[in-house]
Amino acid sequence: MQSAADLARSGLPTGMAAGRWARRRPISWISLAAILISLFSLLPLAFIIWIAVQTGWETVSALVFRPRVGELLTNTLLLVVLAVPTCIVLSVALAWLTERSDLPGARLWAWLSVAPLAIPAFVHSYAWISLVPGLHGLWAGVLISVVAYFPFLYLPLAAALRRLDPALEDAAAALGLGPWRVFRRVVLPQLRLAICGGSLLVGLHLLAEYGLYVFIRFDTFTTAIVDQFQSTFNGPAANMLAAVLVTCCFVLLGIEVLVRGEERYARVGSGAARQQQRTRLGRATIPCLLLPAITALLALGVPFVTISRWLVAGGADVWRFAEIGLALGQTLFLALAGALLATVAAMPMAWISIRAPGPLQRVLEGCNYIAGSLPGVVVALALVTIIVRVALPLYQTLVTILIAYALMFLPRALISLRASIAQAPVELERAAASLGRSPLKALWSTTIRLSAPGGAAGMALVALGIMNELTATQMLAPNGTRTLAMAFWSHSGEIDYASAAPYALIMVAMSLPLIWLLYVQSKRMAGR
């Protein structure tokens, strides 16, 4: 880190160098870029509100307050109420077993608890419906949703358990509390943030998911919106369903804020300089092994066995390499281009959040997270309608789909970039400016280069989301576009499960290395 003496040695007095940097630092144009990008990210939400106003209350009430919407709302509420608590219980149990007990093969079970993230949710559903053709309805949705999305809760819970100070539990035990009461009164409250954050992610994915529920014939707002759009292009009806879906998203966000509360979770000092002693399971070892084993069987065994079975049944005929190569190339191009655009768009906001924090920064950053919480079908529906009315030549072009990807996945890039920029000393920017470089060159030669690893991680997360994205790609992609997800969906929609199997296998194979990097990074950040 550059000190005042370093700046003095650069040839300018310290005060002069700092003053010149303050006058020349590129806050103005970066702030302008952050404001424009944040306002643009609210475009889908603003569009839904504008459509509701233009439609008029009488028509809105007729479209919203009808039996079909009530049925969809009931399905959605039941799905969230049943699946999210199940994910919480399963993830807490798995995290405790792999991080706090002497479970045999704990590291292996920990990785197997994260690996299901590499399998797209609609591939999970494809695998289950292939295995059990009669699997339909709410309980099928709950089962497949849990095995597909519980890792979103397991990851933060496992990381939180690694960071807890064992002295707190020792003190509670010294006061006469038993193991269960220590866990309930000391450990569980400290996991509240991880539970709330992970539950919010799971809930938002449940609201946004399309392919999973189409396979099992379970109607949700997302499936109804897509069906309405594809069958009749009924703008008002589809948009009002989207408005109700957006309202559900905001209700989830509000509940998460209320449950999270304002309690303090940080501690002063570094805590106990030792690792938590793992609990001996003793006679309970075999029963406890059943939980991760059964979970891995349901979340990983079923998809891999099903895909393998269809590959064997289809033989060499299902490997249409020309078609597969085209889909793979288009998927990689869209993933890389979308990830690059989202990362570049996130840079101004990430820089402002670290270098110039304040009320405006918090509002702007919140705009990006709100936009990122909207389902892809809502983003696509808003862009389709706006482009058809205002910029028809852009309809079904590469520009439109890349904008949609940037809006949907910008928060992933923002989080990674913000963490990397925070580790780049601002003194380096000042020193570069004091040596006569322009603000832009000073920023490029110091902070941007130092934050490149975080940017690469953010790009990988965005690319992972794009590779598995289905609804927005179907609605916005140019004519002739056929990604791996679209090709898989086309073949499975024709009940040609054997031809769909190679695409499922390739999507999983491409996602596994990224999930492994995410798993390793989470352990590294937790000090393990």
Cα 512 to the center of its chain, rounded Å: 16
pLDDT at 370 over 70: yes
72 close to 63: Cβ distance less than 8 angstroms = no
Which residues pair with residue 101 across a beta bridge? 279
Q: What is the pLDDT of residue 232?
A: 63
Q: Looking at residues 244-252, what average pLDDT do you find?
A: 84
The average pLDDT across 358-378 equals 77
> Cα 95 vs. chain centroid, distance in angstroms?
20
What pLDDT does 501 receive? Answer: 92
Nearest of 116, 143, 118 to residue 128 by alpha carbon:
143
pLDDT of residue 294: 95
- Find the angle CA(518)-CA(524)-CA(525) to the nearest 5 degrees: 90
292 versus 231: which is more confidently predicted?
A: 292
Share of the chain above pLDDT 90, in %: 25
Most confident of 53-62, 115-124, 368-377: 115-124
Give residue-wise pLDDT tens across range 494-513: 888 999 999 999 999 998 88
Token pair recorded at residue 177? 């509390």
For residue range 5-43, what is the model confidence (pLDDT) as tens digits? 443 444 333 444 444 444 444 457 777 888 888 888 888
Mean pLDDT along residues 61-71: 85
Question: Cβ distance 151 to 119 under 8 Å?
Answer: no
Which residues lie across from 279 on neighbouring strands? 101
CB 375 within 8 A of CB 213: no
- Average pLDDT of the residues of the chain: 80
Q: Average pLDDT for residues 144-164, to the nearest whole number? A: 87
Phi and psi at residue 101, to the nearest 5°: -120, 170
> Which amino acid is located at 333 in the chain?
F
Range list of H helices, 164-220 = 166-174, 179-182, 188-190, 192-208, 211-215
d(CA 124, CA 300): 9
Query: What is the signed CA dihedral for 349, 350, 355, 361, rounded to 10 degrees?
Result: 40
DSSP H or E segment with residue 112: helix 106-114
State the DSSP H helix or E strand holding residue 414, giving kind and residue range, or none if neither: helix 398-422
Estimate the share of the chain in helix, then strand, then coil, as percent rounded to the nearest 5.
80, 0, 20
